[in-house]
């Protein structure tokens, strides 16, 4: 599944913490700020590169030297949470 990042969502590092901040029209659709842990920040980086969920799983498996089966539940939860909060929009 491919996802698009909602327009107006800004990623910013602040004192080593990764934040998603809703600006412009996105403020009405999403929580104002979301703080990402290291893994979530890495997944967001993959979304920014335009990867679909399968590519993200493969990339994360290689990065963390884990099987895709191990990666998938956490990745799905991450994508589900962000989609429910309107930070990302599923394509198709």
Task: With contacts defined by CB under 8 A, name the span among 24-32, 39-47, 67-75, 80-88 that binds another protein.
Answer: 24-32
β-strand partners of 35 = 19
Task: With contacts defined by CB under 8 A, name the span among 22-30, 42-50, 61-69, 71-79 that binds another protein.
Answer: 22-30
* Sequence-distant contacts of 60-67: CB under 8 A, at least 24 apart: none
Q: Which is nearer to another protein, 35 or 70 (CB)?
A: 35
d(CA 87, CA 89): 7
Q: Is 33 in the site for another protein (CB under 8 A)?
A: yes
Radius of gyration of the chain (CA): 13
Q: Is 73 in the site for another protein (CB under 8 A)?
A: no
CA-closest candidate to residue 53, choices 92, 90, 84, 6: 90
Report the interface residues with another protein, using CB under 8 A. 10, 12, 14-17, 19, 21-24, 27, 32-33, 35
């Amino acid at each position: 599944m491919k996802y698009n990042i909602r327009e107006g969502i800004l990623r910013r590092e602040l004192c080593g913490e990764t934040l998603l901040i809703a600006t412009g029209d996105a403020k009405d659709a999403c929580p104002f700020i979301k703080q990402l842990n290291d893994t979530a920040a890495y997944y967001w980086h993959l979304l920014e590169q335009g990867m679909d969920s399968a590519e993200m799983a493969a990339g994360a498996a290689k990065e963390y030297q884990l099987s895709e089966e191990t990666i998938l539940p956490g990745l799905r939860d991450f994508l589900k949470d962000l989609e429910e909060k309107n930070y990302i929009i599923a394509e198709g």
